[in-house]
Amino acid sequence: MSSDALSQILNALKLKGAIYFHTHFNPPWGIKVPAFKNVARFHMAMRGNCWLRVEGVIEPIHLTTGDLIVIPHGASHILSDTKNRTAKNLDMVISESGYDGQGAFAYGGPEEDCACKLFCGHFEFEEGVMHPILNDLPHYIHIPNTHSMNTFWLESIMRFVSSEIISNEAGSDAIVHRLSEIIFIQVIRAFVERTGNMAGSLAAVLDPKFSRCLTKIHSSPEKTWTVETMAQEAGMSRTVFAEKFNTLVGMTPHGYLTHWRMHQARRELLETDQAMIDIAELVGYKSEAAFNRAFKRQFDITPGQIRKTGVIGNTSVVT
């Protein structure tokens, strides 16, 4: 089965999921989750309801049973039983509750009937790896009652994974990883379904014509791609393809090609011992000099320097 454009991108981003805990929060309660880079936090309301306030967002979000929310850029946020409840930092709450990582994370008052049960975790992306789809994600994505998902199926899977984590049996890491991909893809699909072309590069990745073209570019970055050949893969005229690509993705087709090539080269430099000229040819450059110039424009560091230090400088997108 051939890989599609979205799967290729998620593989390049090295998406990796983790579930921190399932909760049992009784009123009164309020918890502040700190900001963290290179992650997208998620919370799924399995029972009850709560409020969520995301840093940089004015209006609080009300979560009810079946709701899923993703905070794509790892922003600080507050979960609480009421809109304006004073919140304590997560580390302090964990310490006060005596939670040791086993079983449900219980906190709050003694009232059991009003308990809010959440699954909380994150999707992690490799540091230094960037893609336009991450830039186009909003402050948060709220999927009411797991819109576009089979609620009972998802809930069953979440409970199953939770039990696997608690039992700590062999294979639990692989299960969580696969689940995270499923959740993230479903969230992206639901977001694009609701927002259409306003979803930018996400809309392009899920559009059948653009996806067909991107899949070919991702699979064969070494080819001598032109706007004409890209448009042919998409089954569109050169002019329409270039204009729509620039509008949705936020960069020219050639800019995207260079961006993808450089990040593929980065991976080869960090993960293999291939000769520099071989990596250059792998991503479409016939000389080391041309490859070095393109790489330094993208990352503000030479291929030789990154191989030596493993540190990326500027991760800006080439346009």
| Phi, psi values for residue 94, rounded to 5° | -60, -45
Residue 3 DSSP one-character state? P
| 3-state secondary structure (DSSP) of residue 191 | helix
Distance CA 287, CA 310 (A): 23
Report whether pLDDT(265) > 80.
yes
Please report the pLDDT score of residue 166 as a whole number: 59
Distance, CA of 266 to CA of 292 (rounded, Å): 12
> Tokens 């454009």 sit at which residue?
5
Question: What's residue 239's pLDDT?
Answer: 97
Mean pLDDT check: name the lowest of 87-91, 115-119, 255-259, 292-296: 115-119
Please name the residues in contact with 195: beta carbons below 8 A apart, sequence gap of 6 or more.
203
From 38-47, 76-85, 111-120, the region with the lowest mean pLDDT: 111-120
pTM of the model: 0.83
pLDDT at 193: 84
In order of their start, the domains of the chain are 5-196 (2.60.120.280), 207-309 (1.10.10.60)
The pLDDT confidence band at residue 305, using thresholds 50, 70 and 90, is very high
Task: Determine which of 28-42, 141-155, 222-236, 245-259 has the lowest per-residue pLDDT on average.
Answer: 141-155
- The strand pair at 50-54 and 77-80 is best described as antiparallel
Report the pLDDT value the prediction gives residue 134, as an integer from 0 to 100. Answer: 87
Better-scored residue on pLDDT, 141 or 312: 141
Beta strand ranges found along the chain (DSSP E): 16-26, 30-33, 39-47, 50-54, 61-63, 68-71, 77-80, 88-89, 105-108, 117-124, 141-143
Confidence of residue 317 (pLDDT cuts 50, 70, 90): very low
| pLDDT attached to residue 115 | 84
| pLDDT of 142 higher than 70 | yes
Question: Residue 107 in 3-state DSSP?
Answer: strand
- For residue range 280-293, what is the model confidence (pLDDT) as tens digits? 999 999 999 999 99
* 3-state DSSP assignment of residue 276: helix
Which pLDDT tens digit goes with each residue over 92-123? 999 999 888 777 788 888 767 678 989 888 88
Give the mean pLDDT of the chain: 86
CA angle 243, 265, 305 (to 5 degrees): 125
**Residue partners of 151: CB distance under 8 A and separation at least 6:** 66, 145
> How far is the CA of 110 from the CAs of 32, 106, 107, 116, in angstroms?
21, 10, 9, 12
Residue 63: how many CA atoms within 13 Å on its side-chain side?
A: 30
Note the residue count of the chain: 319
Residue 203 dihedral angles phi and psi, to the nearest 5°: -65, -40
pLDDT computed for residue 124 by the predictor = 86
Report residue 87's pLDDT band, with 50, 70 and 90 as the boundaries.
Answer: very high
- Tens of pLDDT, residue by residue over 183-239, are 788 888 888 888 888 888 999 999 999 999 999 999 999 999 999 999 999 999 999
Query: Is residue 10 over pLDDT 90?
Result: no
Nearest-CA neighbor of 109 among 21, 22, 24, 23? 24
pLDDT value at 263 more than 60: yes
pLDDT at 318 over 60: no
